[in-house]
Chain A
C-alpha cells in the first residue's frame, strides 16, 4: 500500500489524519479529566507518547526495508526506508521537545542525562547519521547498501530505548499499561495513537512518491547526461 501510492488515496488518508488529529487534540485538551497527581500538564502525554511510538514504528520499518533491500537489491525498499527514516527523525525531535516541555514542570528541568532521554538522543543521532551517510555516495546502489547497513545496525538501539526505563532506575516513568491508567485516559491515548499513525501513513505515501520521482529524475539525468 505505501510502496505504490496514488494521490487520491493519499488525499483521503490525509483528510482522515487531519480529522482524527483535530478530534484527538480536542479530547486530550478539553474533554478527558486531568491526571490525579500531575494535573493538566499530563495532557502532553497524548502527543508525546504517540510521537515516541511512531518514531519506533518508523525505525522498525527502516530496519525491515533495509533487510529486504539487502536480500533483493531492489531500490524500492531503499526508498521506503529513506522515507521512514526522515519521518522517524521528525517524530523523534518532536518526542524529545515534548518530553522536555513535560519534564520542566514535573521534574524541574528541561533536560537530564536520564537513560531514557540519553538513549533517545543517541537514537536521533543514529538516524540523522543514516540520512547524512546517503549524501556521501552518488551511486544509488552503493548509497542504498551503506544506508541499509546503518539501518540494520542502528535499529539495535531502539529496543534499548524502550527497555531503558525497565533496565535502569530512571527519572522517566516506566511504560503505562491498561491496568495502570483509567479507561478514559487509555482510550484518549489510543485515539491519538490512531491519529498519529494516519499522519505517518499519509507522510509515508507522499515521501515515497517524492523519492520515486527524484530517483527517476536522477536516473534519466545520469543516463542521458
Chain B
C-alpha cells in the first residue's frame, strides 16, 4: 500500500476525533445530570433525580 502513513494517520484521526467527542459529550452529560439531581435534592429535599446519570 503506497502512502501508508497518510492513510493510517487519516483513519486514526477520524476514529480518535469521533470517539473523543462522543466520550466528552457523554461525560459532560453525566456531570450535568448529577449536578441537576444534587441541586434538586438539596433545594427540595425530595431526592428526586431529574437527569440522566446512566448516560
Contacts and interface: CB of A to CB of B under 8 A. Distances in A.
B41 interface: no
A199 B55 contact: no
Interface string A210-225: 1001101100110010
Interface string A1-34: 0000001001000100000010001001100001
B52 A7 contact: yes
A44 B10 contact: yes
A156 interface: no
A53 to B, nearest CB: 14
Contacts, number: 96
Interface of A: 7, 10, 14, 21, 25, 28-29, 34, 39-41, 43-44, 47-48, 51, 87, 90, 93-94, 97-98, 101-102, 104-105, 199, 202-203, 206-207, 209-210, 213-214, 216-217, 220-221, 224
A178 B40 CA distance: 55
